[in-house]
Amino acid sequence: MPPPETHYTRNGDVRIAYQVVGDGPLDLIVVPGLVSHLDLTWAEPAHARFCRELAKFARLILFDKRGTGLSDRDAGVAGLEERMDDVLAVIEAAGARRPAMLGVSEGGMMSLLFAATYPERLRALALYGAFVHSPTRSWPADQVEARFDLVERAWGTGMLPPRVAPSMAADQEFRRAWSRFERESASAAAAVALLRIDREADITDVLPRVRVPTLLLHRSGDRRIGVENAHYLAERVPGAEYVELPGDDHLPYVGDSDRVVAEIRTFLAKTG
């Protein structure tokens, strides 16, 4: 399937690439995980299908964060605050009015901070496979640099599928496509720079302040981000609805992605 048209909006000097798909009655902006690539999203059949299903009930707004994908790379990656500003710029450029936000994996942190900061801008928040404490936080202090070094060297070589998509890990075609997705979404240095920021950032104190209707989705056997991360959020985000899904894939579009979409649709239908 050919990708939808890519547009660019500016935040200061930095251009953020975004796409708008579908014309459903509500706007849904997707905050991607660690790295993303707007064109390759549509090259992976499962990912494309996931987006198309979401676009059946929503006007779907996709973007790549600064330093990744089709957005300006030379600006480097940024902390949560600048990323929020980028999202504000995308929301404005896309003409979205009080969109719902879907934060996927690493995008969850920024989404939570965004929801707490701009409750009037969001209709609802759905998180999938989210966390506030990056897995890198559990690295022993004396191994941090060595581990980052390892990540940097392994980037783009297809090491992650057993963790992020175990059900597809044996599929060589998927692994090749995933390696390419990694390489094209971000340089190894950019990926590690993002991981370093996530390792430092801590939004725990902010969780009780999230006051928009929130849905937490997590697969019970997630091999990348353990389900305890969702339990942690469920206990701290006021009134959050937590739905634990079966499966061990971390990527929402791998495994029973229809169920993920159905939960989001049901949840958003209830929020005004």
Partner 1 sequence: MDPPETRYARSGDVRIAYQVTGSGPLDLVFVPGFVSNLDLWWESPIWSNFFARLASFSRVILFDKRGTGLSDRVAGIASLEDRMDDVRAVMDAVRSERAAIHGVSEGGAMSMLFAATYPERTRALALYGTYAHYLSWVASGAQLEAFIATCERSWGTGESVRFFMPSKASDEAFRRFFARWERQGGSPSAAVALTRMNAEIDLRPILSTIRVPTLVMHRVADPRVGVEAGRYLGANIPDAKYVELPGEDHIPLDITDRLADEIEEFLTGSRGEAEIDRVLATVLFTDIVDSTTRAVELGDRQWRALRDRHDSAVRQQISRFRGHEIKSLGDGFLATFDGPARAIRCASAIAETIQPLGIAVRSGLHTGEIELHGGDIGGIAVHIAARVAAMAGPNETMVSSTVRDLVAGSGLRFADRGHHALKGLPEEVHLYSALGNA
Interaxial angle between packed helices 107-117 and 80-93, expressed in degrees from 0 to 180 and rounded to the nearest 10: 70
Residue whose CB is less far from partner 1, 77 or 168: 77
163 binds partner 1 (CB under 8 A): no
Q: Which of 221, 218, 217, 211 is nearest to 271 (CA)?
A: 211
| E strand or H helix that includes residue 198 | helix 188-200
Say which amino acid occupies 165.
Answer: A
208 binds partner 1 (CB under 8 A): yes
User: Site for partner 1 (CB under 8 A): which residue of 21, 122, 165, 168?
Assistant: 122
Piece of the chain touching partner 1 by CB under 8 A; list 55-63, 157-165, 174-182, 239-247: 239-247
Q: Which of 11, 23, 24, 34 is nearest to 90 (CA)?
A: 11
242 binds partner 1 (CB under 8 A): yes
Task: Say if residue 97 is exposed, middle or buried (CB neighbours under 10 Å; 0-12, 13-18, 19+).
Answer: exposed
Residue whose CB is less far from partner 1, 44 or 72: 72
Shortest distance in whole angstroms from residue 124 CB to partner 1 = 9
Q: Beta partners for 214?
A: 125
25 binds partner 1 (CB under 8 A): no
- Separation in Å, CA 30 to CA 36, 54, 154, 179, 203: 11, 10, 27, 22, 20
User: Site for partner 1 (CB under 8 A): which residue of 43, 171, 197, 226?
Assistant: 197
Residue whose CB is less far from partner 1, 4 or 213: 213
Residue whose CB is less far from partner 1, 212 or 251: 212
Residue whose CB is less far from partner 1, 66 or 183: 66
Piece of the chain touching partner 1 by CB under 8 A; list 27-35, 80-88, 135-143, 178-186: 80-88
User: Site for partner 1 (CB under 8 A): which residue of 2, 25, 140, 239?
Assistant: 239
Residue whose CB is less far from partner 1, 21 or 124: 124
Alpha-carbon radius of gyration of the chain: 17
C-beta of residue 271 within 8 angstroms of C-beta of residue 100: yes
The SS3 of residue 18 is strand
127 binds partner 1 (CB under 8 A): no
DSSP state of 13: T
Residues at the contact surface with partner 1, assessed by CB under 8 A = 77-82, 84-85, 113, 116-120, 122, 196-206, 208-209, 211-213, 220, 227, 231, 234-235, 239, 241-244, 246, 266, 270-272
